[in-house]
Amino acid sequence: MNSQQQNEKEEKDKRKQQHDNDVLFIKESVVRKLLNWNDCVDAMESALVAMSSASSSLSSTSSSSSSQVANRDEPFSYQTPRTFTMAGNDGVLLTMPGYAANYTLSMVTGNNEKHSTLACKLVTSFAKNSQLNPPLPTILATILLFNSSTGKLKAIVDGTDITAWRTASVSLVATKYLHRPQQNSILAIVGTGTQGRIHALAMLNYFPNAFTRINLWNRTKARADCLRDELNELFPEVEIVVVDTSVECVIDADCIVTATNSPLPLFELKDLKEDVHINAIGAGINHHSELPMEIYQFADVFIESNVGIQTELKGIAEFINGEIGEIIVGRKHLDDASGKRRTVFQSMGNAIEDGIMANLIYQKFIEL
Ligand SMILES: NC(=O)C1=CN([C@@H]2O[C@H](COP(=O)(O)OP(=O)(O)OC[C@H]3O[C@@H](n4cnc5c(N)ncnc54)[C@H](O)[C@@H]3O)[C@@H](O)[C@H]2O)C=CC1
Ligand SMILES: O=C([O-])C1=[NH+]CCC1
């Protein structure tokens, strides 16, 4: 290392020391600049692995001693089911605490340095926010990031864009492992709110040669028209079609994203291609209200984590084949012999994803 490099390193270490003493606030506009699909997908793949390690299920389902946890050097995580605090008739506050250890952010850091993260996301859902003038996002979030050795708060990170990007990134990982879109595929986006929009952008950016057409459906058609115009600008080579019904949207689709608050199923099993893949994102009356039970019954169904499913995915628990992380690490495989060629990724959203995303943003921010 020459003297200039030595000086730069000392400067950087000094800045890091300063950051350790302060509580940073990383605002929305800064978070937005630091997000990109490859880094987010890499981070979410690490999150899914950390949620599915054998140690994680041990530490999240029993009162295993902390020495048991401290001796491990593979990725693992600990999270409790999230809490829901109702705020009148229209709103709810969710608290999502989680700890992830020994995971890597190799895409971002370029090395295999191991990270540990202690964080808590606070997220509200107020369904009528979109009717305000000007409108606000329905889902608003803040992530508290702590020093995982001392418990001292080190950053408050705006979590609204993180929630959108991490949910879409987890769907990208799920789609990659459960389906792997082929060329000339058709994508259906059912519900073009925040999640539908970000999923469309995610899929087109991350699988650049797969989709030649996208069908868009939204209850209020004008919102689907807006997304069509945006996508036409960004991806002129892809045909973007706004359709009148949710059934029309999915009928010829190879890959589907459902992202609505619908309390009732939006289509039936008979409306689908045999080898379709569905990313089910929305949480109407519950996380599985957008799809009818028969789809869960006749598909391979994977989730992010078993934590919290006893309450949040109660109605479909018997149809769940496993966690995506189990497929990533090779502990589970898609069962070709089952005769089921449909796959469903039932998304729920997990604290570990938010904590790892907040750390990703923090690491990038302090390197600026
Ligand atoms: N799985 C996860 O990790 C996450 C899930 N969500 C859930 O995803 C859903 C969408 O969230 P955002 O896009 O942020 O909200 P948003 O308010 O931007 O969009 C809501 C969408 O639902 C549609 N919609 C509402 N009621 C409907 C009904 N009865 N029938 C058909 N469509 C209806 C609206 O037209 C709109 O397209 C929500 O249920 C939310 O709770 C949100 C964040 C993370
Ligand atoms: O994981 C998450 O942040 C959420 N899931 C449903 C509403 C917000």
DSSP result, 317-339: GGGEEEEHHHHHTTSS---GGG-
Mean of the pLDDT values across residues 97-109?
91
Least confident of 5-19, 34-48, 271-285: 5-19
pLDDT of residue 64: 40
CA of 224 to the centre of ligand 1 (A): 13
The type of residue at 227 is L
Options 3.40.50.720, 1.10.12.10, 2.60.40.10, 3.20.20.70; which CATH number does 169-349 get?
3.40.50.720
Is the CB of 125 within 6 Å of ligand 2? yes
How far apart (Å, rounded) are the C-alpha atoms in residues 248 and 187?
A: 12
Dihedral sign, Cα of residue 13, residue 18, residue 22, residue 28: negative
- 142 SS3 class: strand
pLDDT of residue 63: 40
321 closest CA partner among 341, 337, 335, 339: 335
- Would you say the pTM of this structure is higher than 0.80? yes
- Asked whether the ipTM of the predicted complex exceeds the cut of 0.90, the reply is yes
CATH fold of 21-164+352-367, please?
ornithine cyclodeaminase, domain 1 (3.30.1780)
Cis before 137? omega within 30 = no
Report percent pLDDT > 70 for the chain.
Answer: 93
How far apart (Å, rounded) are the C-alpha atoms in residues 346 and 323?
A: 10
Helix axes 351-367, 160-178, angle to 10 degrees: 110
Query: In this structure, what DSSP letter does residue 315 have?
Result: G
Ligand 2 atom with minimal separation from the 125 CA: 7
**In 10 A of CB 110, how many CB atoms?**
8
Mean residue pLDDT of the chain comes to 92
Least confident of 178-187, 227-236, 335-344: 335-344
pLDDT of residue 336: 65
Taking CB atoms and a 6 Å cutoff, what residues make up the pocket around ligand 1?
Answer: 125, 130, 138-139, 163, 167, 191-196, 218-220, 259-262, 281-284, 347-349
Q: What ranges make up the beta strands (E) of 207-275?
A: 211-217, 239-242, 255-258
Sketch the domain layout of the chain as residue ranges. 21-164+352-367, 169-349
Mean of the pLDDT values across residues 237-262?
98
Mean of the pLDDT values across residues 238-248?
98
How far apart (Å, rounded) are the C-alpha atoms in residues 278 and 270?
A: 14
CA of 60 to the centre of ligand 2 (A): 20
* Cβ neighbours of residue 56 closer than 8 Å, sequence gap 6 or more: 50, 76, 77, 78, 305
Residue with tokens 């800045």: 15
